[in-house]
Structure 1
């Protein structure tokens, strides 16, 4: 009888431990939804795989069904490239370049920023291109599990830490979208640290 009770306890502990990730995911999703409601932003959290599966790799490398003639450089292609090069030859005044830049900037209405965490989760949030990086850091401060640890975000390749918190997303090249990475600013990061 004693063995039966201990087996039942072990089985119930296994159920609790196996259910723990889904409970944690539910708590995390609830936290994300609360922050999204508080800030009035569109925020999504989803798992990402560290390596692509064999199916996705084979789909990327498979033949797309185009004939070999599709890849030949035609006369029309040549004239299209030539026309584009002629347009680039003319010198532009500073005012004209600024007007073109303002026109390009006005067409971009949102900046979708994806923050990749080391535990294979990605946080996606939508910002206005004129918002600063500090708004992203404020969002991360509300979402990150360990606020007592210093953290930073970086882009890659090459690995470059984002330090200009007062710059807007457009001037950093983060609009219309960007992928940044999250890291705690510690010399030896423990793999058991909770990120979100």
Structure 2
């Protein structure tokens, strides 16, 4: 994911712009034009000889970190036109209106809902992967800030409070600074008095941490007069951190998992569960420093190793024909079928509800479609399933193994109607995303246990019934062929 981009100007000058995944190309263009003191309406951004859409997010542009973008002038100056907004409420109804790009999201809500806007204590607008929660944030964000400078767009309005403590929230761990051994950079050398003083400082910090934590009192601290290696001190700290992490996050036993499985109420015999995709999926993004992207000696070594192995495969590898590729693909599918008898399929609906179920690897996509019909409001409606990205519509006549849905897959539901497709009574049976993940883990664990038992069994009967090819007898060898003439 890109965190900084390099913009190339008209006079070959380059500037670096800090970005985040939820920024639009228009925001990046405005930041670059502000530094050069030019009008952003007269320029566009080009990446790989392609003009970027100003309304698209960085998340969906597939731009790498530190990528080079080119600032090019436009043939006609960009003019902000009215934006058609469809506001979808929680009950599924949609209200429309036209607004200018400079109007805030709160103005959009007030002008469309009018008096009903007071019913939302904590309004939230959802557009693509962006969530703007709270009245203050909605007043600060304009339609132009989220990339809407023309055309039409659909916004979802919810009454959602941003709680301080959320369940199942993923918080990325703090990045540890990169530590290089002195022998890798400068070779073996004697340590200076400054290095020794740093080691003694690290030792004092370690001693204070050990005194605070009574569980790690068995660590032997050498005297200060001796010169201590930095690597040994760092290993001691890492071992202590690992021990603390094990104490905080203990592993669940099989009995606990089985008890947890008994508490889950499945919808049918296929262990089907329904959960909300937005349950506990909030991720806080944190920009890394420039030193994070600097390669180390270890990184370069791994890259060289991969390049050598890839080159040896190209030079010494066997040339494959089309028939050999088909045979290899069939062999890989048979290996998957032998290893995974069942697969986990999650069907993602447009209202962000996910239906998780277990199917056999040999079942067709048509079986999945017929299975979904009993949970739809209109069982006779026409719809299709597809995977993304890129969007590939699944063929109903193919098996899940042939479609690449083994051992697990996330497929999307698509139809011509825009209303809620699932039955209303299913909302009362929604489980948390954590329960669905543990249920999928139990299926994978049971599948791995069955594969181990089948692989450990030795088929003695088959070996006796199908013995290897025996050697030809001497009489058969001595027999001369009819065409042989001495």
Normalised by the length of structure 2, the TM-score is 0.27
Larger radius of gyration: 2
User: Are 2:433 and 1:195 equivalent residues in the alignment?
Assistant: no
Deviation at 1:78, TM superposition (A): 1.3
Question: How far apart, in 1, do the equivalents of 2:297 and 2:357 lie?
Answer: 38
3-state SS of paired residue (1:172): coil
1:1-196 correspondence to structure 2 within 5 Å: 33=267, 36-37=268-269, 41-49=270-278, 52-53=281-282, 56-58=283-285, 68-69=294-295, 73-88=299-314, 89-92=317-320, 96-108=324-336, 109=340, 110-162=342-394, 164-186=395-417, 189-190=418-419, 193-196=420-423
Partner in structure 1 of residue 89 of structure 2: none
Q: How many pairs align? A: 153
Kept in 1, the 8 Å contact 2:383–2:414? The answer is: yes
3-state SS of paired residue (1:115): strand
Kept in 2, the 8 Å contact 1:113–1:180? The answer is: yes
1:91-127 superposed Cα distances (whole Å, 9 cap, x missing partner): 1356654553344223421332211112221011222
Question: How far apart, in 1, do the equivalents of 2:335 and 2:358 lie?
Answer: 16
3-state SS of paired residue (1:105): helix
Question: How far apart, in 1, do the equivalents of 2:388 and 2:345 lie?
Answer: 14
Kept in 2, the 8 Å contact 1:149–1:185? The answer is: no
The 10-residue stretch of structure 1 (90-99 or 148-157) with the greater mean CA deviation from structure 2: 90-99
The root-mean-square deviation of aligned C-alpha atoms, in Å, is 3.5
Deviation at 1:170, TM superposition (A): 2.2
Question: How far apart, in 1, do the equivalents of 2:363 and 2:297 lie?
Answer: 42
1:123-152 superposed Cα distances (whole Å, 9 cap, x missing partner): 112223322101111210122232243332
Kept in 1, the 8 Å contact 2:373–2:380? The answer is: no
In structure 1, runs of 5+ residues without a counterpart are: 1-28
Greater RCO between the two (CA within 8 Å, min separation 6)?
Answer: 1
Kept in 2, the 8 Å contact 1:50–1:120? The answer is: no
Normalised by the length of structure 1, the TM-score is 0.60
